[in-house]
Amino acid sequence: MFINNFDPVAFQIFSLEIRWYSLAYILGIVLGWFYIKRKLKNDQKLLLLFDDLIGYLIIGIILGGRLGYVLFYNPEYYIKNLFEIVMVWNGGMSFHGGLIGVIFVAVMFGKKHQINPYIFLDLIALVAPIGLFLGRVANFINSELYGRESDVVWAVKFITIDNLSRHPSQIYEAIFEGIILFFLLNFFSKKDKFKNPGIISSLFLIFYSFLRFNMEFFREPDSHIGYLSYHLTLGQFIGIVFFFLGVFLYLLKRNEK
């Protein structure tokens, strides 16, 4: 059994605390950016446009992720504590909210520059697993989004939470939603070669939703929400919606010229 007692603060500069979660966001964006620049090395026009898009994407991720958490996971609390909505540093981000924020920004940017926004969304989909991997590792370090009680050999005891042995669900998600999803999407991108913009985006929605749905069976649901119908979590129900959106988008874009 592994004892998790990591310090969520990576290092401190005077009174400023630099947390692992913040570093995960920064590193994920930087690595994804460099990977896309490598992909676009033969298309300087698109590369310059993507460089301009990065700043907007960061805003979309943060605003979308925060508002998604507020609206999806804890609306009653934040209605009573409106000022806490802007306190991102206290934690509380939703991946699906961040995804909606990214889609909105890419669509607006594409319209502004008269370029198919799915070109940008496909590129973002390819590198999103990098951020997912780093984010889940940071969740593990922070002892958050921890797993359900288990007696497996590799169980983890999160000291700051309780004295129970639990699934390291954050690591499961890092592997499946990060590493495996990354290679799956890049494999299909080589086959498709971006001939049909939107295909990679649709596959991201399908694969991520499927993997997330299954990983939720190992993850402890949010204490203030618990289980919903059929003993499923809110994350699973949201995943079902995005899965079918991905299927619809795939069918729409598959034969589009």
Task: Give tens-digit pLDDT for 100-132.
Answer: 999 999 999 999 999 999 999 999 999 999 999
- Cα(170)–Cα(218) distance, integer angstroms: 9
The pLDDT confidence band at residue 246, using thresholds 50, 70 and 90, is very high
Domain hosting residue 119, numbered range: 2-197
Residue 229 CA, chain-centre distance (Å), reads 24
Has residue 35 been placed in a domain?
Answer: yes
249 pLDDT higher than 90: yes
Residue 229 zone, left/alpha/beta (φ > 0; ψ -120 to 50; rest): beta
**Structurally, how many domains does the chain consist of?**
1
Does residue 136 lie within any of the structural domains? yes
218-241 per-position pLDDT tens digit? 999 988 899 999 999 999 999 999
pLDDT at 196: 87
- 112 domain-assigned: yes
pTM: 0.93
Residue 94 lies in a domain: yes
Residue 122: which residues within 8 A CB-CB, separation 6 or more?
189, 194, 197, 198, 199, 200, 201
Give the strand pairing for 2-4 and 156-158: parallel
